């Protein structure tokens, strides 16, 4: 998904632990919401009990740090997107899949529909293809020279 933060790099556009920040996508320039995700390796979403520093369980640095993921601003119908494209937020952490109390809406990973990453319409889901088209139209409007 989105770029993880290199260890020790706190000066970039990605926020420090526990802060939500809207930053532009480096590929397309559209605003995204960056959140931590505990999805360490794409399979396991759990981690050992944390010590005083929640970013480093038991005071030790993980081999693979929790990644930052870029989410689209807003809520979208989860049924229109593939399973790996939807997330829900709990305590500022992006968790895979929709939340059972969100009544069918979910956050969507920006990488699923980013026009800078996908030269053609994404085929992963109907929702990703529609968002990709809407984002391309927005970019086309934004780059027109003023009259």
Place of tokens 């800078």: 116
* Of 76, 53, 93, 140, nearest in space to 85 by CA: 76
Could you tell me the pLDDT band of residue 100, with boundaries at 50, 70 and 90? Answer: confident
Main-chain dihedrals φ then ψ at residue 34, nearest 5 degrees: -95, 130
Give the separation between CA 101 and CA 109, rounded to whole angstroms.
19
Is the model's pLDDT at 19 over the cut of 60?
A: no
For the ranges 17-21, 29-33, 88-92, the lowest mean pLDDT is seen at: 17-21
Query: Rounded CA gap, 29 and 27, in Å?
Result: 6
Instruction: Tell me the H-state helices in 28-144.
Output: 126-142
Tens of pLDDT, residue by residue over 121-144, are: 999 999 999 999 999 999 998 876
40-87: pLDDT as tens digits: 555 544 545 555 555 555 545 444 455 788 999 999 999 999 999 999
pLDDT at 36: 82
pLDDT score recorded for residue 146: 59
Please state, rounded to an integer, the average pLDDT across all residues of the chain. Answer: 77
pLDDT at 101 over 60: yes
pLDDT at 114: 95
| Matching residue, tokens 């979208």 | 76
* Nearest residue to 131 via CA among 30, 41, 62: 30
Instruction: Give residue 95's Cα distance to chain centre.
Output: 10
How many C-beta atoms surround the C-beta of residue 91 within 10 A? Answer: 8
């Amino acid at each position: 998904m989105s770029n993880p933060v290199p260890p020790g790099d706190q000066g970039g556009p990605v926020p420090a632990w526990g802060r939500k920040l809207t930053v532009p996508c480096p590929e397309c320039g559209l605003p995204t919401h960056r959140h931590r995700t505990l999805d360490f390796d794409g399979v396991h979403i759990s981690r050992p009990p944390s010590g005083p520093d929640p970013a480093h369980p038991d005071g030790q640095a993980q081999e693979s740090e929790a990644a930052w993921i870029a989410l689209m601003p807003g809520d979208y119908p989860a049924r229109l997107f593939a399973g790996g494209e939807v997330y829900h937020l709990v305590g500022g952490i992006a968790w895979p899949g929709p939340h059972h109390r969100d009544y069918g809406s979910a956050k969507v990973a920006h990488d699923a529909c980013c026009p800078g990453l996908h030269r053609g319409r994404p085929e992963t889901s109907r929702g990703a293809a529609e968002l990709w088209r809407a984002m391309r139209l927005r970019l086309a409007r934004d780059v027109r020279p003023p009259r």
